[in-house]
Amino acid sequence: MQDFVKLYIDKIEAFARSKKEPIGLLIVGGLAMDFYGIPRYTIDIDAEIKCSNEIYFELIKYLGKENISFNIGENISSWGVIPLPADYTERAQGVYQSDYLTIKILDPVDFVFSKLLRGTEEDFSDATAVVRKHNITRDSLVERERLVQFPKDPETLFFKKKFKHLLELIG
């Protein structure tokens, strides 16, 4: 585990321990890459959180004081117009567990979809790296796409173009 990943985890765990209340995080974004076996530097924590409202707002304040950038909310699937594939939380994999902190990451296929939601060049790079590292097939991506509840929105067409581009990139 890279030093900055350990630092982020240690700080959040110390906070939870000091409050004597558990926190659950589903890590996404660049920080998750470390847990997929493809370490890369990132400057923030992107995560879905499970905790009380009081602890959430105290944690946000604490992270700000620690100068840690973050994008933490209770439903990552609602961060954009296109939701993640249905039941993504049930497929999430545990990567760290202590008395006060549980960390999970998305199933690698769901992670690929999370990267397509934004769809920057870096996101495509992350997505293709995870596809290759975890031997994700085109068929498994196409199958998982069936679990996405696409809205009647222009963003759906844009997402489908990004999905087609990813399939071309992985061959």
Q: SS3 breakdown of the chain: % helix, strand, coil, rounded to 5?
A: 55, 15, 30
Show me where the domains of the chain are located: 3-107, 110-170
Position 1 pLDDT exceeds 80: no
Range 46-72 average pLDDT: 96
Range 82-104 average pLDDT: 97
Position 5 pLDDT exceeds 90: no
Q: Using one digit for the tens of pLDDT, what is the confidence trace for 113-156?
A: 999 999 999 999 999 999 999 999 999 999 999 999 999 999 99
Q: Average pLDDT over the chain, rounded to whole?
A: 95
| Whole-structure pTM value | 0.94
Q: How far are the Cα atoms of 36, 37, 52, 74, 117 from residue 79, in angstroms, in the given order?
A: 22, 25, 20, 10, 9
pLDDT at res. 64: 95
DSSP state of 24: E
